[in-house]
């Protein structure tokens, strides 16, 4: 292994050389069932023919031309995303943290426009919004922030899923301009919002003129079984951040906005050299097209339910299981103890899984899973978890 990479990741000691659908092969030719999907990125699985063709064709014409000129693919992608979401306008960038960074800048500019000099954004405990200075400040994890002080000002934190805490802030803090949250917390442990929470939050935002800003970087693009996570609730956000699944692995992020929020940025306020380039937009358009034409939203909903049902029937009553939860193809198994070592155990068994928030096994498979993959994942994961909990008992 090279010593010339900065030591930012605890990498697993394998490399993949080939992928097809929900499966990956390592250098030794061993096959793995993928339930990580490049961290909720590869919704179409690996080497999807339509995606491969779209990228190859775009690369053969123009890859990048800059935002000094019109980019027809970017315009088409903005149209498509707005039609699917009900939002009005899109700004394109290259990653999730940049999409949130755009949302945060937009909220601050919106606040200043109303004469609020210290615009403040309400954020959640256990939130994850990225690793840039603004987004790590918004993130609700001391581990991610420690050592990077001074953090930014202009954020107020409340517990996730606690609408009373938001009401308290509304009463006392007249500088609030927006609320930023995930509809299902990903890195924070696959935490799902209570059914009425978003509607209640929308009402508070409307009463105070705040922007409701959703970080759908992980939950967007079919991950939860609808195009966007907010569509389970019927509540519309004012601002939405997207990235992960949008380009199926070709880096692209987007900040969408609606109504007054869509008119906040003016020329010179924000930008990105690569953002929304023809290659990334071609990958995103092909991703959206494949999700629609292959019925992958329904598939994600049904397969996600089947995985949760399978895990529940195998694991309910097993001592050490706290909860099995999630939405669509975002699945969390919370244990009563740290379980990071299960990533290696599963890998040896030919299954790629992830553990987050110490005690939560996170499964974010490609949206294309069929019956065979569902059964293989449920069998492997439940056996590994049972064995681990019984061993340790």
Ligand X SMILES: *Cc1c(COP(=O)(O)O)cnc(C)c1O
Q: Given candidates 102, 243, 329, 353, which one binds ligand X under the rule CB under 6 A?
A: 243
Residue 182 touching ligand X (CB under 6 A): yes
* Of 84 and 104, CB closest to ligand X: 104
Which run of H or E residues covers position 69? Answer: none
Stretch that binds ligand X, among 66-74, 93-101, 266-274, 341-349 (CB under 6 A): 93-101
Say how far apart CA 123 and CA 57 lie, in whole Å: 41
Using the 8-state DSSP alphabet, how is residue 286 labeled? Answer: H
* Of 354 and 382, CB closest to ligand X: 354
If you write DSSP's letter for every residue of 225-255 in order, what string do you get? SSSSGGGGTTPPPSEEEE-GGGGTTS--EEE
Stretch that binds ligand X, among 48-56, 114-122, 125-133, 341-349 (CB under 6 A): 125-133
Stretch that binds ligand X, among 123-131, 227-235, 268-276, 300-308 (CB under 6 A): 123-131
CB atoms within 10 A of CB 302: 15
Residues 366-385 that bind ligand X (CB under 6 A): none
Q: Given candidates 73, 129, 232, 303, which one binds ligand X under the rule CB under 6 A?
A: 129
Residue 224 touching ligand X (CB under 6 A): no
Residues 6 or more apart whose CB falls under 8 angstroms from that of 139 comprise 123, 127, 128, 129, 130, 145
Say how far apart CA 291 and CA 48 lie, in whole Å: 11
C-alpha of 349 from chain center: 27
Closest distance to ligand X from the beta carbon of 387 (Å)? 29
Measured CA distances, 191 to 38, 42, 83, 326 (Å): 20, 21, 28, 7
Stretch that binds ligand X, among 81-89, 114-122, 210-218, 355-363 (CB under 6 A): 210-218
Closest distance to ligand X from the beta carbon of 25 (Å)? 25
Stretch that binds ligand X, among 64-72, 94-102, 309-317, 331-339 (CB under 6 A): 94-102
SS3 assignment for 249-271 = CCCCEEEEECHHHHHCCCCCCCC
Using DSSP, state whether 5 is helix, strand or coil: coil
Residue 193 touching ligand X (CB under 6 A): no
* Of 158 and 221, CB closest to ligand X: 221
Q: Given candidates 51, 77, 84, 97, which one binds ligand X under the rule CB under 6 A?
A: 97
Question: How many distinct helices (H) and strands (E) make up the chain?
Answer: 12, 17
Residue in the block written with tokens 């492997």 = 380
Closest distance to ligand X from the beta carbon of 233 (Å)? 17
Torsion on CA atoms 315, 317, 320, 322, rounded to nearest 10: 80
String marking each residue 261-300 x if it binds ligand X according to CB under 6 A: ----------------------------------------
Longest dimension (CA), the chain: 63
Residue 238 touching ligand X (CB under 6 A): no
Q: Which residues bind ligand X (CB under 6 A)?
A: 95-97, 100, 128-130, 182, 186-187, 215, 217-218, 243-244
């Amino acid at each position: 292994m090279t010593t010339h990479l900065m030591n930012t990741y605890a990498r697993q000691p394998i490399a993949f050389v080939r992928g097809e659908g929900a499966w990956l092969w390592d250098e030794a030719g061993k096959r793995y069932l993928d339930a990580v999907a490049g961290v909720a990125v590869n919704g179409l699985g690996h080497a999807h023919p339509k995606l491969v063709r779209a990228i190859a064709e775009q690369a053969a014409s123009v890859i990048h031309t800059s935002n000094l000129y019109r980019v027809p693919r970017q315009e088409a992608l903005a149209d498509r995303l707005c039609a699917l979401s009900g939002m009005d306008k899109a700004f394109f960038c290259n990653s999730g943290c940049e999409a949130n960074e755009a949302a945060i800048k937009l909220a601050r500019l919106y606040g200043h426009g109303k004469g609020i000099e210290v615009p403040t954004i309400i954020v959640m405990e256990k939130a994850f919004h990225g690793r840039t200075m603004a987004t790590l400040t918004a993130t609700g994890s001391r581990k991610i922030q420690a050592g990077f002080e001074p953090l930014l000002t202009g954020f107020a934190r409340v517990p996730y899923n606690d609408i009373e805490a938001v009401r308290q802030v509304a009463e006392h803090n007249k500088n609030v301009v927006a609320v930023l949250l995930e509809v299902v917390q990903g890195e924070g442990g696959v935490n799902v919002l209570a059914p009425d929470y978003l509607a209640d939050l929308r009402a508070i935002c409307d009463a105070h003129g705040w922007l409701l800003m959703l970080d759908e970087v992980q939950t967007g693009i079919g991950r939860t079984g609808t195009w966007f996570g907010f569509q389970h609730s019927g509540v519309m956000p004012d601002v939405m951040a997207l990235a992960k699944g949008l380009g199926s692995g070709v880096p692209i992020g987007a900040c969408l906005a609606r109504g007054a929020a869509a008119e906040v940025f003016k020329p010179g306020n924000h930008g990105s050299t690569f953002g929304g380039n023809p290659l990334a937009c071609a990958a995103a358009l092909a991703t959206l097209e494949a999700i629609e034409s292959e019925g992958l939203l329904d598939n994600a909903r049904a397969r996600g339910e089947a995985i949760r049902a399978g895990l529940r029937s195998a694991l309910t009553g097993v001592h050490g299981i706290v909860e099995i939860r999630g939405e669509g193809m975002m699945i969390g198994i919370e244990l009563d103890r740290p379980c990071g070592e299960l990533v290696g155990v599963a890998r040896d068994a030919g299954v790629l899984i992830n553990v987050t928030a110490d005690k939560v096994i996170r499964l974010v498979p490609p949206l294309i899973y069929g019956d065979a993959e569902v059964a293989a994942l449920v069998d492997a994961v439940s056996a590994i978890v049972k064995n681990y909990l019984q061993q340790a008992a």
